Amino acid sequence: MEIYQLKYILAVAKHQNFSRAAEEVCVTPSSLSQQIKKLEDELGVVLFGRTTRSVHLTPAGTEFVEHAKKIISDIADINMAMQQYVVGESGQISIGNVPALGAFGITPLIAAFQKTYPKISFEFHEAECFDLYPLLSSGKIDVAFLTAYHKYKPEKIPLESYPLIQDELVIITNTSHPFASREIIDLHEASEETFICLSKSSGAFADTLDACKLSGFEPKFGYDAHYVDTCVGLVAEGMGIAILSSRIAQKAMPSAGKGIAIVRFKPKATRTVSVVFPKKKKLSPVVSNFKNFFVHWSQENYLHNPPCEQQ
């Protein structure tokens, strides 16, 4: 039994005439009649009663038509569902993201994409910036949101990135610290301070090193904190100071109560959040739609820069 035979049966049942049915399915009346006779012989039943003047369904034919309609409808549904994968409207995207992604305003953008493509789901892999590069390279994740890509591009991993958010770096201190009452300091003034550092594979750690070196000194790290809340808590207790993105620092303020102060410093340093894709010749349709969405947003809302490519 073939799909085209089902369509032939439905056409004859609809028109009750071989000539008109043959015209609908674009075959000759004799070919149509032969195919239906072949199917009847295969099934061992008569589907149509035939006279010189009319064609009518037998009881077996009536039941066959009901099943055939359902099969043809199901096939159409299957084709439509599969077409969504072809055009990238259905599927799953594996996203690598640094911690505290929401503080940078990225999660609303992901939600906006999901509203446009409601049948696309997401799988998130949260890790520090430098831990996500191997996952991109190996294909374990499709895309990553990174905070240190433009400063520390990996070697031998072909990637392309688009900047989304740029945020100023700030110092957080205990409210009793001498820096707390000042609006801005020269970062070199902090050369003798103890710094609370986040994971050495994080963009925040790299940013701290970079900012301090620009001011002519190596920071003295006293404690390692793998989570922002821990870092902020240690600062609030006066165990050191830390350099964070201003967005993350502002978000951390409520959890720290009145225990921390945010202080700007010069020379000004920034953190850029970028969306990064493997530089493949062909992305999947789903990932291509995701990329196009964020590239368009980057071009409209950030800087009109071409992608930063790693050869």
- Six-digit token pair at 27? 């075959």
* CATH of span 90-164+272-310: 3.40.190.10
pLDDT tens figures, 171-182: 999 999 999 999
Architecture in CATH of 3-84: Orthogonal Bundle (1.10)
Question: What residues pair up with 207 in beta bridges, in sequence order?
Answer: none
Within the chain, which residue ranges are assigned CATH 3.40.190.10? 90-164+272-310, 166-270
What are residue 17's phi and psi, to 5 degrees?
A: -160, 125
* Contact between residue 190 and residue 171 where contact means Cβ atoms under 8 Å apart: yes
CA 86/CA 9 separation, integer angstroms = 31
- The pLDDT profile of the chain, 311 residues, written as one tens digit per residue, is 889 899 999 999 999 888 899 999 899 989 999 999 999 999 999 999 988 778 899 999 999 999 999 999 988 888 777 776 666 688 899 999 988 777 788 888 889 899 989 989 999 999 888 888 888 888 899 999 988 666 666 666 778 888 888 889 999 999 999 999 999 999 999 999 999 988 887 888 888 999 999 999 999 998 888 888 889 999 999 999 999 999 888 887 766 666 899 999 999 999 888 889 888 767 888 998 999 888 888 777 754 334 444 43
- Six-digit token pair at 46? 């008569």
Number of helical (H) and strand (E) elements in the chain, helices listed first: 10, 13
3-state secondary structure of 1: coil
CA 161/CA 305 separation, integer angstroms = 10
The CATH H-level superfamily of 166-270 is: Periplasmic binding protein-like II (3.40.190.10)
CA 210/CA 216 separation, integer angstroms = 10
Within the chain, which residue ranges are assigned CATH 1.10.10.10? 3-84
- Other CB atoms within a 10 A radius of the CB of residue 145 amount to 26
